[in-house]
Amino acid sequence: MNAPTSAPLRAPRRALPQTITLAHGGGGTAMRDLIEVVFVSAFATTRDQDAAAPLEDQARFDLAALAASGDRLAFTTDSFVVDPLFFPGGDIGKLAVCGTINDIAVGGARPVALSCAMILEEGLPVEILRRVAVSMAETARAAGVPIVTGDTKVVARGACDKLFITTTGIGVVRTGIEIGIGRARPGDVVLVNGLLGDHGAAILDARGDLHLDHTIESDCAPLHDLVAVLITAAPGVRSLRDATRGGVSAVLNELAEASGVGVRIRELDLPVRPEVHGFCEILGLDPLYLANEGKLVAVVPADEAAAALAALRAHPLGREAVAIGEVVATRPGRVVMETRFGGERIVDMLVGDQLPRIC
């Protein structure tokens, strides 16, 4: 893939109706107009015009070019449903692009291209769809990862909630990079790249139930550059995970279980924004379980921890990176938190969603 162009959005050739109807999923001219006007014009800006075959059902890649940059293909897919569609710091489109780039990146791969499938609810305002598509395109363009193919379906009103997006990504893993959830060893250091829980708090806040004084912004961001910097500084990095649903707690529990080790973290070292901290206090939530969309948990060998931390902190998305704990041989499969008073507690996986307490 070549560098993306920055061509401006093309003006619609035909006027579109204001809302999505079932006709936009029917395979006829209405659907073609929608795809051309909303998606093709936006996504074309994310990629080299010559490589684009916007109205075909697949993108085609030069295998030799891919093989030259690594020895394994990384492949991932994820669906995005969020209420509200637009929230401080992002929207469903930005989330869909960042989320899939991050899933590729935490495998140690360089993301190459994305696909995008849209499920639209009948009655969705076209303007909302256009805003989402533009946001996806801007995010993909800034990240240097083109959106090369896609699909659109329309379902009857009530069959989905406004707009669902599935993004699939491919990437290439450089020769020699070995990263996996089962590779942590006692003595390794656990790092995070910044403040925890912003996305989860932003979404709850954006639903408008609490009317907080401070707006909390989602941390939604593509992490592939940060991962590249980290891997260069700490080539022995054992494990990387983006801490999305279930938060850091879910990542650490999966790590402990898959690697057959214990993880010990320190409450005092967990980086949490004061606003998020206060928000969690009000609702009886724990930031360790809140979703993030721009945070990763990295496990690195102890002798590379200082270099890894320095590299993370030198990157804009890792300025607040810290070591939050260690991998230990005791209590395999468990995550234990040392509380700020020196007490300890188990940090278990969450059952379902966190539920705000009654009082």
Partner 1 sequence: MRYVDEFRDPALAAALIREIEGVAHRLERGRDRPFAVMEVCGGHTHAIFRYGLEGLLPDIIEFVHGPGCPVCVLPMGRVDDCVAIAERPEVIFATFGDAIRVPGSRKSLLAAKADGADVRTIYSPLDALALARRHPDREVVFFGLGFETTMPSTALTVLRAEREGVTNFSVFCNHITIIPTLRALLETQDLGIDGFIGPGHVSMVIGTEPYRFIAEEFGKPLVVAGFEPLDLLQALLMVLRQIEGGTARIENQYARVVPDRGNPQAMDAVERVFETRPVFEWRGLGSIERSGVRLREAFARFDAERRFAVPEISVADPDACRCGEVLTGKVKPWACPMFGTACTPEMPLGALMVSSEGSCAAYYQYGGVRQPHADATPHAPKSLEATA
Catalog residues that contact partner 1 under the rule CB under 8 A: 209-210, 212-214, 268, 274-275, 277-278, 281-284, 286, 331, 333-334, 336-337, 339-346, 348, 351-352, 355-359
Smallest distance from partner 1 to CB 20, Å: 24
DSSP, collapsed to helix, strand or coil, labels residue 258 as helix
> Closest by alpha carbon to 300, among 219, 210, 221, 240?
240
Residue 171's DSSP bridge partners are 74, 111
Residue with smaller CB distance to partner 1, 36 or 320 = 320
Residue 66 CA, chain-centre distance (Å), reads: 23
DSSP per residue over 173-205, as a string? EPTT----TT---TT-EEEE-S-SSHHHHHHHH
- Conformational region of residue 130, where left means phi above 0, alpha means psi within -120 to 50, and beta covers everything else: alpha
* Phi, psi for residue 355 in degrees, rounded to 5: -110, 125
Smallest distance from partner 1 to CB 268, Å: 8
Smallest distance from partner 1 to CB 270, Å: 13
Pairing of strands 189-192, 296-300: antiparallel
Q: Residue 66 is encoded by which pair of tokens?
A: 């891919």
Residue with smaller CB distance to partner 1, 7 or 355 = 355
Residue with smaller CB distance to partner 1, 268 or 329 = 268
Residue with smaller CB distance to partner 1, 48 or 348 = 348
Residue with smaller CB distance to partner 1, 17 or 284 = 284
Smallest distance from partner 1 to CB 262, Å: 8
Cβ atoms within 10 Å, residue 345? 11
Smallest distance from partner 1 to CB 245, Å: 17
Smallest distance from partner 1 to CB 351, Å: 4
How many Å apart are CA 302 and CA 335, to the nearest integer? Answer: 19
Cβ atoms within 10 Å, residue 73? 15
Smallest distance from partner 1 to CB 329, Å: 13
Strand-by-strand arrangement of the 322-328 sheet: 239-242, 296-300, 189-192, 322-328, 262-266, 335-338, 344-346
Residue with smaller CB distance to partner 1, 102 or 253 = 253
Let me know: does 60 contact 53? Beta carbons within 8 Å: yes
User: Omega of the bond prior to 271 within 30 degrees of 0, cis?
Assistant: no
Residue with smaller CB distance to partner 1, 100 or 253 = 253
Residue with smaller CB distance to partner 1, 72 or 277 = 277
Residue with smaller CB distance to partner 1, 175 or 211 = 211
Smallest distance from partner 1 to CB 201, Å: 12
Task: Name the one residue in this structure whose structure tokens are 């499920």.
Answer: 119
Smallest distance from partner 1 to CB 339, Å: 4
* Phi, psi for residue 322 in degrees, rounded to 5: -150, 160
